[in-house]
Amino acid sequence: MAPRVKLEKAAWLWVETVKPEDIKQEHIELAYRINIPACKRGICRRNCKGNPNCLVGIGEQVWLGEIDENTFHNIDDPNSERREKNIFVGLTNLGATCYVNTFLQVWFHNLELRRSLYQCQNSRAQEHNIDSDYEPQSICEHLQYLFALLQNSNRKYIDPSGLVKALGLDTGQQQDAQEFSNLFLSLLEETLSKEKNPNLQNLIQQQFCGQFFYVTICNQCGRSSTLPSRFYELELNIQGHKNLTECITEFLKEEKLDGENRYFCENCQSKQSATRRIRLHSLPPTLNLQLMRFVFDRQTGLKKKLNTFINFPEQLDMEPFLEQKLDRKSVYELSAVLIHRGISAYSGHYIAHVKDALTGDWYKFNDEEIEKMEGKKLQLGIEEDIAETGKTQSRKPKCSKGYHCSRNAYMLVYKVQEEESSDPSRTNVEVPSFLQKLVDQDNHKFEEWCMEMANMRKQSVDKGRAKHEEVKELYDLLPAKDGELYEFIPLDWLKKWLDDSTATKEIDSSIFLCSHGKLHPDNMGEIKRVSLQAAKLLYERYGGGPRLDGSSLCRDCVSERCRVLRLKKQLDEDYKEISNLVKRTPSGDGYWVGKASLRGWRQLALEQLEEDEHETKHSNGQTNGQGPHTIDKFGLEASGGAEDETKTFNEDIVCSHGALSILETERKLVSTEVWTKLREYFPKSPEFTHIQDPCRQCLTLEQEEKDNEAVSKMMALEQKNQLLNLFHEKNRPTLTKWPQGTDRLYIVPLFFVEEWRKFIRRPTKSSPVSNVGNSLLLCPHGGFMFTYESLINGEAQHIALLWPSEWEVITRLFIVDKPIAIHCVRQTTSESSMTQYTTQPDLCRECRQSFLFQQQRDLREYTQATVYVRKVIKDKITGKDGAPELNACSSEAEEEREELPKVDGEKDPDFSQAQDAAKRIKLNDSSAASVAASSVTNMIKPGGIRRSTRHRKLRGEKALIVSASQTLKELKIQIMHAFSVAPFDQNLSIDGRSLTDDSATLGSLGVIPECIICLKADEPVTDYAAMDDAYQVRMPEEGFKGTGLLGH
């Protein structure tokens, strides 16, 4: 099928030969494209929007032919959530809680621990009403319920969020697994110690606690001292070792104590060289061996993972390592291997391989996924041992029978080997009835959910089948045959009807109606012609309207479109003729036409024609392809700007008084022939003959404006000559060194002086200054807001000092609301000389105190303020001689910048702009608005040189946005990203005062807006990506502070 544009053009080709009054029914049907052949499936790839008879590619493909019933729903099979036979239950990973899940599975498979926990008193569970959800409170209650679900739940995996929430763990932050294990067992030990059952009080010690002695022998006298110590796990160094035996041997090896580590001998009563070693005394039934894979790297200051292969046995004989032979066996069997997958100490994933104590089968526990190993052997698999890539990858060493090797195992759990017992109570752990009742309640909920999901799947399938039959029935009826009755259905509705994912609404054809209440011909691309029989069935089932049939074809719209198209064709011819005529210079009479109107008259004519048929068609306003600053067909320069746009022809040369504009450059004289043709399209446009005089009122106003500019120039020149030094900032008085020859200086707001200078520089562009505005420097009571000391210590940026002679000129030229002066009184005696400074009016102490209080408060409570961090190397600022950057502009360049118009919103990215509010001090009855004392440098310096209020940025210095409430640690993280210096390598100071307390807020440390913080960096870390990861992850690993593991 031809493209949509071609079909639209073809529908109106007949207008070239047919006048609007000669239109017949056949022309109307051509305009509505009634007789265009319908497209066939397989030939037309996508729907032809220009053909109302094309019903291909509207979504019917998915319904025709055989359909898989699974496409009727998006609901997974609920049985996929059901626990498989002879497979354990998994645990949901709540974000980054895989380390919690691995330990929970290991502890669950400790039968003695599980059996004992089931015996804990739990009155809440025993008295629970099954009509409500059970909510455990204590750690024992959570573990009881969790273990019972892991044992007898019908679910494939369960949610441990209750326990995690009770512990107060951050589910989005991966913590140190070993630390979690130690803290949790300590918490559980403390909780069980409060149980009434004495068999439970020492459960953790009985299961996990062993004992060794620190034996120290004095080299001088030979005295031996023994210090007993309990352990819950043995922390074994793996660096430089290949197997578990070597690691245990090193743990027990003799250590020399000499030098600063000498031992204080009680017998010798002095520090002596000695030897120390650890002697194992007793071992627990469950022996936890912690392989120290995560170690601290002194060179980088970060933790790193050791990817060393360690060989370990399935059976471990601990008798050679014991001080003396135990009464019971010392042979242990491997029961669990905890794996950390990943090459970094700060990321990765935790899984566990656990041996079923009942069957001897090995299982891999990976959060929700549980996998049974083939046979009865531990298979660590390939993926657990992916630790290195590329050239550094080392081969996995071969393992002897009964041994395993891993570079990712970080904890080994061994159970003491016991003789096989015929007593089933030792191997079978039954869930108590009060807990089984809760498990049954959860299983019942799960079965109800499965049934609900199955019903939803069935309903969706039944609905899909019905829809399938409906589509197959109706789609064959949709095409309208030649000569038969038909109706129109919106294309968008048909697509939604065939899209099963959306609910089918009633048919709405109202948006396709023209102003005459019939089908608009322009909407034929959005509507489809269907058979009367199909339309009748669709309306019966879905309702809606209005119904559009063959009688809805609008003759009025077709006639109007015919008229417009014919006029448009004539318009093109007139446009070409006028384009040629306007290039000629008119001889004799002529008419004034606006240049903008002349450039856009064709578009205006088109818009007027289209308005006649109630259409709104927009143009980009660039006729004939003209762009910015091009010469159009009329020989006029077109700027392409908004000023060329005009809504009514020739109104662009009409002034505000309704007469001819005085701007001759905006109009062009055209011949009478050109104006006559233009008048045909714009009969109501303003008409100005060549003898028409411009507007007299506009000419008068123009002359007045020129006269005013001359007066402003004379005024500026006069004021400049009388206050020449003030304008050029020469010979300015200063407070730091009181000038000789006067005891009085006058004060005016700096804002007044700056506005006056702008007027002097550009008198025709700036308004003259009439009022000094000294009230800005006074409080509501009329008192002065500054002292002599405050002015010489930084607050002089708000004022300008004047000589008495200059003040006299000021009083003559400007309105002075309130004079402000500062007096220098010198009292000289034979013994001493004293100088006092007073102001007139006097200082208002009440408002001054309020001002200082508010100022200090703002310095402590700021938000989104700028501070500057300056990197220092060997007590020198980075950059040559600490010179300012080239973009730190001088005062002269700054003055030049003030002359140029600024784009709205323009900002200098390298500097912090001084706020306009800093130029004025606004006071109210309660307090004075304050400006940070260190935000800008003094405007007046000794020697009378005006300085920029901008902070002069140096090389090696960067601006940071901070708040008073953020901590120093958070600031260090910002500095780390800006300078690539690790927080622990940063030494920060302000004015020689070190900033060391990472937990303190910036406000409490005296960090104020616009201050300069010096940064001295220690040896840098080369791997900045690792450093960034380290600090983000390492901060929370400083401990489980704030969690239930530490009792909050």
Q: Which residues have a catalytic role annotated?
A: 98, 349
Q: Give the residue from 1009, 974, 973 showing the smallest Cα distance to 990.
A: 1009
- What is the identity of the amino acid at 675? W
Residue with tokens 């245990």: 248
Q: Give the residue from 584, 589, 587 showing the smallest Cα distance to 691.
A: 589
For 55, phi then psi, to 5°, come to -115, 25
Measured between alpha carbons, how far is 238 from 1019 in angstroms, rounded to an integer?
29
Q: Report the DSSP pairing between strands 507-508 and 544-545.
A: parallel
Q: Give the residue from 458, 362, 443, 371 showing the smallest Cα distance to 404.
A: 362
Those residues with Cβ within 8 angstroms of residue 9's Cβ, 6 or more apart along the chain or in another chain: none
Two tokens, residue 26: 């056949």
Q: Give the residue from 564, 576, 460, 426 showing the smallest Cα distance to 116.
A: 426
Measured between alpha carbons, how far is 735 from 745 in angstroms, rounded to an integer?
9
Contact criterion met (CB below 8 Å) for 964 and 860: yes
Contact criterion met (CB below 8 Å) for 1042 and 1034: no
- Other CB atoms within 10 Å distance of the CB of residue 1005: 18
- Other CB atoms within 10 Å distance of the CB of residue 386: 15
Q: Give the residue from 1007, 8, 20, 105 showing the smallest Cα distance to 558.
A: 20
Q: Give the residue from 171, 153, 684 showing the smallest Cα distance to 439.
A: 153
Burial letters 33-62, b for 16+ CB under 10 A, else e? bbebebbeeeebeebbbbbbbbbbbbebee
Q: Report the DSSP pairing between strands 286-291 and 234-236.
A: parallel
Burial of 668 (C-beta count, 10 Å sphere; 0-12/13-18/19+): buried
Q: Give the residue from 774, 736, 794 showing the smallest Cα distance to 931.
A: 794
Q: Left if phi > 0, otherwise alpha if psi is -120 to 50, otherwise beta: which for 722?
A: alpha
Grouping H, G, I as helix, E, B as strand and the rest as coil, residue 742 is coil
Q: Is there a cis peptide before residue 841, judged by omega within 30 degrees of 0?
A: yes
HEC profile for 746-784? EEEEHHHHHHHHHHHHCCCCCCCCCECCHHHHECCCCCE
Contact criterion met (CB below 8 Å) for 690 and 669: yes
**How far is residue 7 CA from its own chain's centroid?**
48
Measured between alpha carbons, how far is 154 from 89 in angstroms, rounded to an integer?
8
Measured between alpha carbons, how far is 346 from 177 in angstroms, rounded to an integer?
11
Contact criterion met (CB below 8 Å) for 769 and 755: yes
DSSP string, 891-925: HHHHHHHHHSPPPTT---TTSPPPPGGGG---B-S
